[in-house]
Chain A
Amino acid sequence: MEKQKLESMLIDYIDNRLNTVDKRVVEQELVNNAESYKLYEELKEVMHLMDRSARIEPSAKLRAGFDDLLKEEMTSARQTKTVFFQPALYRVAAAVALLILGGGIGFWISHQREERQLAERERLEALEKQMQITQQMMAMLQNGQSASQRIQGVNVAVSMGKADDEIVNALVKTMNEDPNSNVRLAALDALSKFSDDAAVRKALVTSLQKQKDPVVQISLIQLLVKMKEKSVVNDLRKIVDDEKTMQAVKDEAYSGILRLS
């Protein structure tokens, strides 16, 4: 039997996941092959060790810490979004706790913990800020009253540098559905910066059939040609053949076909 397959089957055998036929096969192998039997024994030992490994019990500090943080969160939720830690006070409290708890080593460890907590707080704040910016961006992109606000939303998205799925999806939606051409164009321009991304590339390709505004069509065709996206040649033909297409778009599509094929 192939080594890799045997190893995998042995693990499933120990976990009792095999059907009767496969079980027979493995048992036969174990009887006939001493080396396989050794492997089986060894695997069984580590697997059972892991399965039987004792749970580690957290100290009482964990629960106390949780109770404190919950209390703090509940008051800060009531106070409608103030700063959630009071750093100075918090640090004093931590220092006092240190003095009570710690000897020499205790001091060192606690100091490290305090630093960790500080770092975590900074991270949380950064995370929160990022979430706020994302939310703000989403709100701007959905502002039905003002096209400028929506463009600003696109600009915020670009300024965030890297695009996660949420941002890319929002930009794609804007590119395809926003009622204002300038906004759609801005979203297209923003997405062009992430055109290396496979999902973005796909979104740009499928958008070609959806765009009806010549301004956006022309820019999109230029971008797809620059990206050497050969799969759009058929869509470009359709655009050229469509009577309703504006001349400038036809010209662009035609030059695109020539350059891609």
Chain B
Amino acid sequence: MTDELIMEAVKRGELQQATLLFERYHKRIFNFLARMTMDRALAEDLTQNVFLRIIKYRTSYREGNKFQSWIYQVARNVFSDHYQANKNKFSDFVDVEKISDHMADLEEHEAQDEKEKLLHQSMARLSEEQRELLVLTRFQQMKYEEVAAIMDTTVANIKVKVHRAILKLREYYFEMEKI
């Protein structure tokens, strides 16, 4: 059964079906948010919020739309809402502390590879938009078409931006390698 058919069932009120969507998507959404926030615990909370919104606002799912695009759009909203809300709450100083802390947290769970560590530190220096593009196209190996659908823009535009992001990442990565 396609994601879309399942979502339509959820929309009709068969909430139990949402479990299937959770099975199919929770790891991808969690990975997306973990790479974006660099904070596992936060990513888990936000992933949960994504599914909460999907269920709560099931009626706003438009039939015929691709479910994958929709859930990623919801995830992006959840992420930016969180970011917006917290921008006012914490001073920049606390924020920096937090990020480096949680990055360590994230790295612990991965191979203790020096290169991988360097990669994450370079990722952290990218703009949010560039990080997002790389997470989707490289880490999650989505096609440019799929990303364009999520971000509601053209494939050509996505391609240009992804290329720029890769180049920027390379710059940061080898800059830090020298240190």
Contacts and interface: CB of A to CB of B under 8 A. Distances in A.
Q: Is there a contact between chains A and B in the complex with CB atoms less than 8 Å apart?
A: yes
A101 to B, nearest CB: 12
B4 interface: no
Identify whether the interface residues of A are mostly helix, strand, loop, or mixed.
Answer: helix
Contacts of A42: 170, 173-174
Contacts of B129: none
B123 to A, nearest CB: 9
A46 B85 contact: no
A120 interface: yes
Identify whether the interface residues of B are mostly helix, strand, loop, or mixed.
Answer: helix
A61 B110 contact: no
A129 interface: no
Interface residues of A, number: 40
A104 interface: no
Q: How many B residues touch the partner, as a band?
A: 35 or more
Interface in B71-116: 81-82, 85, 106, 109-111, 115-116
A74 B16 CA distance: 8
A55 B26 contact: no
Interface stretch (A62-70, A187-195, A199-207, A228-236): A62-70
Given A50-B139, A73-B15, A117-B45, A58 B166 contact: no
A56 B55 contact: no
Given A11-B163, A46-B173, A56 B51 contact: no
A96 interface: no
7 contacts: A46-B122, A49-B119, A66-B51, A69-B48, A74-B15, A116-B45, A123-B85
Interface of A: 7-8, 11, 39, 42-43, 45-47, 49-51, 53-59, 61-63, 65-66, 69-70, 73-74, 77, 84, 109, 113, 116-117, 119-120, 123-124, 128, 131
Interface of B: 13, 15-16, 18-19, 22, 26-27, 30-31, 34-35, 40-45, 47-49, 51-53, 55-57, 60, 81-82, 85, 106, 109-111, 115-116, 119, 122, 134, 138-139, 141, 160, 163, 166-167, 169-170, 173-174
